[in-house]
Structure 1
Amino acid sequence: MARFAGQTVLVTGATSGMGASHVRGFVAEGAQVVIAARNHEAGRAFAADLGPSAFAVRLDVTSEQDWIAALDAVSAHFGPLSVLVNNAGAQHPAALIEDTPLSVWQQTLAVNLTGQFLGIKHTAPSLRAAGGGSIINIASTMGNVGQAYYAPYVASKWALRGLTRTAALELGRDNIRVNSVHPGVVATPLITEPIADQPAIGDLYSPAPFAVPRLGTPEEVTALVLHLASADGAFATGSEFVLDGGLLLGPALAA
């Protein structure tokens, strides 16, 4: 099935984890995909592996000038966008609020919130020129609850919910849909690799009590992203899609 034939898709944070999975998923369904990442060499290598349907741009999502330059390059190479996947995100070492440096707070919000704001701001004209399309903001289940030791991350993901709904209202008449996806604990480097000198989040977490007692996979998140970006999701906008195996529900009955 080529649900995205003739469409151009931009994925941020696209060289690893869920971002790389999203890139592969869109390419497999016929899209021209822009691999946007700070590590331009990794992006170029990934694009070379995928062939002419992929194009790499350097993008620090916190930089407005990077967004402008990246979209100029995309316009020249592929034309207007049909889909933006605001995937880039940053986690931080666990710390009480009183022990969290201001620099950590500022950097986390810069990547997780300002980066998505800039993505919406600067891709909207391109999506409009394409006749409409879809923006998908990757949030988190931490945007639905409080979580001790992760105040910057939690705050950024809660704020992203409001940004998503506001963008959906502003862009709806342009045939641009805006939704958010809230993954639970997914087996990506963000979860499986240590942060600074602390253990990996996955080492401290057990999914055993929950309805689906395992970690999620990037491919499962990609399947939802593809649905929302395609004509199959045409009636969904301003909505939040939780994909967490029941984590937010709480412990399930024992078998």
Structure 2
Amino acid sequence: MSRRVLITAGASGIGRAMAEGFAAAGFDVWITDVVAASLADCPDTWRKTRADVSDEAAMAHLFAEIDAEWGGLDVLCANAGIAGPTNAIGDIDLAEWQRCVSVNLEGAFLATKYASPMMRAAGQGSIVYTSSTAGIYGYPNRAPYAAAKWGIIGLMKTVAMELGPEGIRANAICPGAVEGPRMEGVLEREAAIKGMTRDEVYAGYAAGTSMRSFVTAEDVANMAVFLGSDAARLVSGQVIAVDGHTENPDPKV
């Protein structure tokens, strides 16, 4: 029997790279996303559901579908997230804060809430959370995002302790600066705030790592596939950065 993985926000970026990695490893893949066009662009061999991870009714329905069609779930990649506002703390609207925390943190909670009973019934499972290096360091001008990503670390540590005796592992991946459209938006917004060019901000991020490099979605996906595999059978409760070793979380040139 093939192993089964659900990846939230799996139609693009890191999520899609995870889906491709798990598929290559022989997993049956189910993805969610809020962008219908991105879902349609994914392989027909993947099961696809349009869902907002912060909507509890939608998540309950999704997991009922998974249980009905698959009869269980082996790996959950709670990957959905949004960048949120890039602004000084005094200029962030409460609605912006709430939306960022809702998608990034509450979405991970809801996915865990509904995946855990299936994993408990099977006596095994692996939950892989996508946090961020913003979940390890403070990030100026990114308060809602950093708060949510720190929250994911606390959620993961608690889930690892709570569900570990039942054979369920939980770990968090902390990507650094990942090449792609989302990071481009962050670079442009930070450049505007700091009075710098996009290239200067990019160089600052790269210089803030000991390996002087951004990472790719595939780098993050490779770690997720490892954590979902039997090779990681006793790896749990861990915060694993895939970031080229971040030295300076406040990039400067």
Please say whether Structure 1 and Structure 2 have the same fold, judged by a TM-score greater than 0.5.
yes
When residues 130 and 195 of structure 1 are mapped into structure 2, their CA distance, relative to the original with a 3 A threshold, is farther
1:37 paired to 2:29:
no
1:143-182 superposed matches below 5 A: 143-182=135-174
Shift of the alpha carbon at 1:210? 2.9
Q: Deviations over 1:160-200 (max 9, x none)?
A: 11111001111111111001000100112211246897769
Deviates more, 1:170-179 or 1:185-194: 185-194
Q: Which moved more, 1:190-199 or 1:147-156?
A: 190-199
- After TM superposition, the structure 1 stretch with the greater mean CA deviation from structure 2, 28-37 or 210-219, is 210-219
**Residue 243 (structure 2) aligns with:** 244
Change (3 A) 1:202 1:157: farther
Would the alpha carbon gap of residues 128 and 29 (structure 1) be closer, same or farther in structure 2, given more than 3 Å must change? same
Contact residue 9 and residue 81 of structure 2 kept, 8 A: yes
Within 2, Cα distance between the matches of 1:145 and 1:61? 25
Partner residue in 1 for 2:86: 94
Q: Which of 6, 11, 14 matches 1:10?
A: 6
Aligned to 1:205, which of 198, 202, 207? Answer: 202
- The whole-number CA distance in structure 2 between the counterparts of 1:213 and 1:239 is 24
**Partner SS for 2:134:** helix
Stretches of structure 1 lacking an aligned partner (at least 5 in a row): 251-255
Candidates 96, 101, 124, aligned match of 1:104: 96
The corresponding residue for 1:253 is: none
Identity of aligned residues (%): 33
SS at match of 1:88: coil
CA distance in structure 2 between the aligned counterparts of 1:68 and 1:186, rounded to whole angstroms: 31
Provide Cα deviations, 1:3-36, integer angstroms capped at 9, x if missing partner: xx61110000111100000000001111111011
Following superposition, the deviation at residue 215 of structure 1 comes to 1.1
3-state SS of 2:15 partner: helix
Q: Whole-Å Cα distance in 2 between the matches of residues 199 and 16 of structure 1?
A: 25
Residue number in structure 1 paired with 2:23: 27
CA distance in 2, matches of 1:196, 1:14: 25
Unaligned runs of 5+ in 2: none
Question: Which AA in structure 1 matches 2:215?
Answer: G
Contact 1:210 1:246 in 2 (8 A): yes
Contact kept? 1:228, 1:236, Cα under 8 Å:
yes
Task: Determine the C-alpha separation between the residues in 2 that align with 1:242 and 1:26.
Answer: 20
TM-score, structure 1 length as denominator?
A: 0.88
State the aligned residue count: 243
TM-score when normalising by structure 2: 0.89
